[in-house]
Amino acid sequence: MWKTELAALAAATGLTITVAHLPPGTSKWNKIEHRLFSHISMNWRGRPLTSHEVIVESIAATTTTSGLRVHAELDTTPYATGVKIPNETMKALQTNGILTRDTFHGEWNYTLHPRPVTLTSDTPDTH
Q: How far apart are CA 41 and CA 4, in angstroms?
A: 34
Structural domain total, the chain: 1
User: Residue 117: inside a domain, yes or no?
Assistant: no
Structural domain harbouring 16: 2-112
Q: Is residue 124 part of a domain?
A: no
Block means of pLDDT (10 residues each) for the chain, length 127 residues? Answer: 92 94 69 78 88 92 88 92 91 91 89 76 48
Residues linked to residue 18 through DSSP beta bridges, in sequence order: 111
Give per-residue burial for 65-85: e unless 16+ CB within 10 Å, then b. eeeeeeeeeeeeeeeeeeeeb
Determine, yes or no, domain membership for 125. no
Domain assignment present for residue 45? The answer is yes
- The pTM for the full model equals 0.59
Q: Cα-flanking dihedrals φ and ψ of residue 30, to 5°?
A: -80, 110
Residue 30 lies in a domain: yes
